[in-house]
Amino acid sequence: MDKKLHKAMDEQIKNELYSAYLYLSMAAYCESENLPGFSHWLKVQAKEETTHAMKIFEFLNDRGARVTLQAIPQPPIDFSSPKDIFEKALDHEKKVTAMINNLYAVAADVKDTATGVFLHWFINEQVEEEKQAALILETIKMVHGDSGAALIMLDRELAKRE
């Protein structure tokens, strides 16, 4: 595997694990605000991000490229509301989309077709990731300022995520 691409893939493993940390930090905030459904949704999201990191990890192993793990920065710990969390989540997913697109461009640049094909799954996944965060954010905006009953109902809905 091309060294530049290999380094970028190692970096993406770190980025995916950071995403998991970010979602766990958001889940911790929601727990502290007595929003267990939001917390549950975010913990499931954290597990999904770890799965993404492991997909890349295994792909690199399959290609005979030794994975070099990098330090994961501490995520933010203070949030002001569920709306703030999902604004940040959507912004974060847009950044991840840009990272995946950059990886794809590097793979194309070095003519690594196998990696390009592998990254198609991530490209499609990012469409879904952004959609989910945007839908939840829009729902929160609709109930923002409500007496709280709508937020409780949304919390219960998010608790159903498998």
What is the per-residue DSSP string for 33-83?
TT-HHHHHHHHHHHHHHHHHHHHHHHHHHHTTPPP---PPPPPP---S-HH
State mean pLDDT over 99-120. Answer: 98
Q: Which residue has the tokens 């917390």?
A: 39
Q: Which two tokens stand for residue 130?
A: 């952004």
Q: Which of 155, 82, 90 is nearest to 128 (CA)?
A: 90
Residue 17: what pLDDT? 98
Residue 111: what pLDDT? 98
111 backbone φψ class: left, alpha, beta (φ>0; ψ -120 to 50) = left
Bigger pLDDT: 83 vs 144: 83
Residue 150: what pLDDT? 85
Q: How many angstroms separate the first and last alpha carbons of the chain?
A: 36
Cα(55)–Cα(75) distance, integer angstroms: 22
Helix (H) or strand (E) holding 98: helix 82-109
Cα(73)–Cα(20) distance, integer angstroms: 11
**How much of the chain exceeds pLDDT 70, in percent?**
98
pLDDT confidence band for 146 (50 / 70 / 90): low
**How much of the chain exceeds pLDDT 90, in percent?**
91
For 3-158, CATH number out of 1.20.1260.10, 1.10.10.10, 3.30.470.10, 1.10.290.10 equals 1.20.1260.10
Measured between alpha carbons, how far is residue 144 from residues 73, 79, 82, 100, 115 in Å?
31, 16, 10, 33, 43
Name the pTM for this structure. 0.94
Helix (H) or strand (E) holding 27: helix 3-32
